[in-house]
């Protein structure tokens, strides 16, 4: 029986999906791609990290809300990971301090200290 005419048969035309990403699509963070075309200046990165630390310290010393503490520590961890890579791992100590109830310890300028360590390396 070469052709089974009694059975159910279904055939579909060839399906082609449109491209999901354009050809020039580049992943900029955290890894992959060729990286950004324009580099950010070291002065801007330094100013951003110091400003983040100042706002973080003010919030740590004045606001005692769990939501704010979580936002500060998660945001700081993301900034540390994006800026320093594996060198940013010590920022996790701020998360641990916040979880243990020592929120005032998170006022330490961790990102600025990590920047100083990176510059000295």
Dump pLDDT digits (tens) for 44-103: 889 999 999 999 999 988 988 888 888 888 899 999 988 888 888 889 888 888 888 887
* Per-residue confidence band for 32, with pLDDT thresholds at 50, 70 and 90: very low
In a domain, 70, yes or no: yes
Segment holding 118, helix H or strand E:
helix 110-120
pTM of structure: 0.64
Range of the domain at 96: 42-120
Residue, of 86 and 32, whose pLDDT is higher: 86
In a domain, 103, yes or no: yes
Q: What is the pLDDT of residue 35?
A: 53
- Cβ pair 92, 77 in contact under 8 A: yes
Structural contact between residues 56 and 72, judged by C-beta atoms closer than 8 angstroms: yes
In a domain, 95, yes or no: yes
Domain-embedded: residue 48? yes
76 vs 42, residue with greater confidence: 76
Would residue 30 count as lying in a domain?
A: no
> Which tokens is 115 given?
């920047």
């Amino acid at each position: 029986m070469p052709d089974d005419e009694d059975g159910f048969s279904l055939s579909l035309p060839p399906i082609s999906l449109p491209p999901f990403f354009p050809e020039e699509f580049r992943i900029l963070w955290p890894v992959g791609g060729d990286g950004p075309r324009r580099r950010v200046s070291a002065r801007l990165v330094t100013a951003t990290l110091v400003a983040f630390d100042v706002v973080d310290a003010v919030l740590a010393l004045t606001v005692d809300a769990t939501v704010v503490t979580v936002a500060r520590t998660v945001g700081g961890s993301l900034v540390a990971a994006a800026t320093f890579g594996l060198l940013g791992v010590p920022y996790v100590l701020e998360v641990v301090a916040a979880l243990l109830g020592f929120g005032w310890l998170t006022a330490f300028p961790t990102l600025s200290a990590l920047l100083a360590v990176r510059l000295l390396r």
